[in-house]
A and B are shown apart, each in its own frame.
Chain A
């Protein structure tokens, strides 16, 4: 999952397509190509890679194919990337709680003296 997502996003034009769909919602391939200054065949190919990775959905409307973002793989990837930071954050949150406890104990001791 994650490597496919990363690999799909790791191409600048594909990442721009994802951000474009974020900002503008659903779009056709020609609208995407026009906004990003890309050629149609190139845009189609990138959208195919993104669809394979589950990052975009396509809906057929008459003779138009309309692309939109599917957030699930991105949310999964964000969780994965954050793991290291999360582990450290949690560890130092618990250290912080312990410090507060120590401070409270020291205040009690000082008040008794």
Chain B
């Protein structure tokens, strides 16, 4: 069962990712905005990430270069619109492979009881089409239901 919730409702332009971390909000925010440790977690596991720029302040630029096992580079960049520690960051997101399709990311860090933090990343894409492209599969809510049903089906098949 995954700990990361991904919601992409049919016909909308956004993807919402939610996760609860067992750490205080202040630490989560600091770690998330620490350029030195971004390469330890950002991007797909099979790739490496280099922080080219990361000025975490209003108007600051961020740019990460992600390299896959073939050495192919994928660069991502954006600008911070608002940095309100330790609760909220608003920034843009652009994948340089599709320049001009810019997403708006609102990341919030909410204090929960027992020293936990609820992390929410909402990315709003310029169109439903771009969002579908991001999901690679047009994974709408309908497909999410399909996935649930498939999982049940597979669990049954694999237990035989």
Residues of A within 8 A of B (CB): 9, 15, 18-19, 22, 69, 71, 74-75, 77-78, 80-85, 87-100, 102-103, 106
Q: In the docked arrangement, what's the CA distance between A78 and B31, Å?
A: 33
Q: In the assembled complex, which residues on chain A have CB atoms less than 8 Å from the CB atom of B151?
A: 78
B40 near A92 with CB under 8 A, answer no
Q: Is the pair B41, A69 in contact by a Cβ cutoff of 8 Å?
A: no
Size of B's binding interface in residues, CB under 8 A? 37
Q: In whole angstroms, what is the CA distance A90 to B40 when docked?
A: 11
Q: In the complex, are the beta carbons of A81 and B139 less than 8 A apart?
A: yes
A105 to B66, CA, bound (A): 28
Of B2, B119, B149, B156, which is within 8 A of A85 by CB?
B2
B74 at the interface (CB under 8 A from A): no
Are B4's CB and A85's CB within 8 A?
yes
A18 touches B153 (CB 8 A): yes
Chain A residues in 8 Å Cβ range of B136: 83-84
A99 CA / B109 CA spacing, docked (Å): 14
Q: Is the CB of B37 within 8 A of A90?
A: no
14 contacts between A and B (CB under 8 A): A18-B153, A71-B158, A74-B154, A78-B151, A81-B146, A88-B17, A91-B41, A91-B42, A94-B41, A95-B31, A97-B40, A98-B37, A102-B23, A102-B27
Partner of A82, one of B22, B147, B149: B147
With A81-B146, A98-B31 given, name 7 new contacts (CB 8 A): A9-B146, A71-B158, A78-B154, A88-B6, A91-B42, A92-B17, A95-B31
How far is it, in angstroms, between the C-alpha of A19 and the C-alpha of B139 when the chains are bound? 21
User: Could you tell me which residues of chain B, from 138 to 160, have a CB within 8 Å of some CB in chain A?
Assistant: 139, 143, 146-147, 149-151, 153-154, 156-158
Contact between chains at A22 and B41 (CB < 8 Å) = no
Is B69 at the interface (CB under 8 A from chain A)? Answer: no
Question: Known: A19-B153, A74-B154. Contact between A90 and B45, CB under 8 A?
Answer: yes
Given contacts A81-B147, A98-B40, contact A92 B27 (CB under 8 A): no
